[in-house]
Amino acid sequence: MSQQWARLPERGNPLALRLICWIALHVGRPAGRVLLYPITLYFLITATAARRSSRRYLRRALGREPGWRDLFRHIHCFAATILDRVYFLTGRLEQFEIEIFGGQRILDQAASGRGCILLGSHLGSFDALRALGVSLRHLPIKILMNTTHNRAMTQLLDALNPTLAQTIIPIGTPDTLLKVQESLEQGDMIGALGDRVARGEKAVPCRFLDQETALPIGPMLLAALMNCPVILCFGLYRGGNRYDIHFEPLAEHIVLDRHQRREQLGVWVQRYADRLAHYARLAPYNWFNFYDYWEEDGS
């Protein structure tokens, strides 16, 4: 799978991001949502590579050739979740209708005192889950995150909620694995995203949306090393102020034979890819990987 996402420059600047936050917090969500339409139109016209990648993805997810309305809706959905990040990070959940599927499974896991891997993706909003966990105080969630990409946005949005910012475990530091181990031993849920391959990260081939690609083995290998369950989570934006949060178990234990480790990891990664494809088709405009995901430009 392409690692092009890691080389993409940040769009916007800290001043513009601060303006968006100010509008969201002081003018309000209705006015902010009105501004999403010209913003979406601007990116639809100017972001040629993102538009091309959106079309390729939607062709697979929708099972038909997408039109301009589909592309607009895809980008608008992404913009809407970015705006809502401000409200999720500041704990303003009362503005949203959030329906939870599989909630008892995740509450039972939290009550057990046993840590787990909470495996998500760039499908929908992971921030809805983070905010829900802190607000309800039932979900002790920490997030594995690449803090070097889109640094300005990350720093600005994390400043809105220092409590959530403290739950982040940066990826790629000398003590990342140690922090993950300590958190799991304390019963924390470690949130990770499994649909992008970071530079230098090991991956295995699989099929996603009926097309060959590669996905990282890190989350599955981590679960095997730490002997902890893997629970899938997807926070789907359903339009307006509605979000659906889905939890479902992927593995209670991942046991690997050292002679067949790569093949066995490939089986688990494929199971993840199959469920990711299911939810991508369920909410096709929620997929936020606007780059050459299947490396078609080089083919």
Domain boundaries, the chain: 4-286
Q: What is the pLDDT of residues 232-279, one digit of tens each?
A: 999 999 999 999 999 999 999 999 998 999 999 999 999 999 999 999
Q: What is the pLDDT of residues 183-197, one digit of tens each?
A: 999 999 999 999 998
What is the pLDDT averaged over residues 195-217?
92
* Closest C-alpha among 275, 274, 253 to residue 264: 253
pLDDT at site 252: 94
* Chain centroid, CA 86 distance in Å: 16
Residue 110 pLDDT exceeds 90: no
pLDDT-derived band at 134 (thresholds 50, 70, 90) equals: low
**Residues 294, 43: Cα–Cα separation, whole Å:** 22
Report CA-CA distances (Å) from 58 to 195, 203, 250: 17, 24, 26
> Which residue has 């359903």 as its token pair?
238
Give yes or no for a contact between 61 and 281, defined as CB atoms under 8 angstroms apart.
yes
Give yes or no for a contact between 150 and 196, defined as CB atoms under 8 angstroms apart.
no
pLDDT at site 167: 80
Residue 295 pLDDT exceeds 90: no
* Closest C-alpha among 211, 210, 209, 202 to residue 266: 202
**Residues 4, 31: Cα–Cα separation, whole Å:** 34
Residue 40 DSSP SS3:
helix
pLDDT at site 1: 47
Query: Do the bridges between strand 141-145 and strand 189-193 make them parallel or antiparallel, or are there none, so unpaired?
Result: parallel
Report CA-CA distances (Å) from 261 to 50, 87, 195, 204, 272: 36, 42, 20, 11, 17
* Closest C-alpha among 292, 124, 276 to residue 210: 276
Which residue type, as a one-letter code, is found at position 242? R
Residue 208 pLDDT exceeds 90: yes
pLDDT at site 6: 43
Q: What angle do the packed helices 68-89 and 14-22 form, to 10 degrees? A: 80
Q: Out of 27-36, 47-56, 143-152, pick the least confident.
A: 143-152
pLDDT at site 161: 74
Between 110 and 275, whose confidence is greater?
275
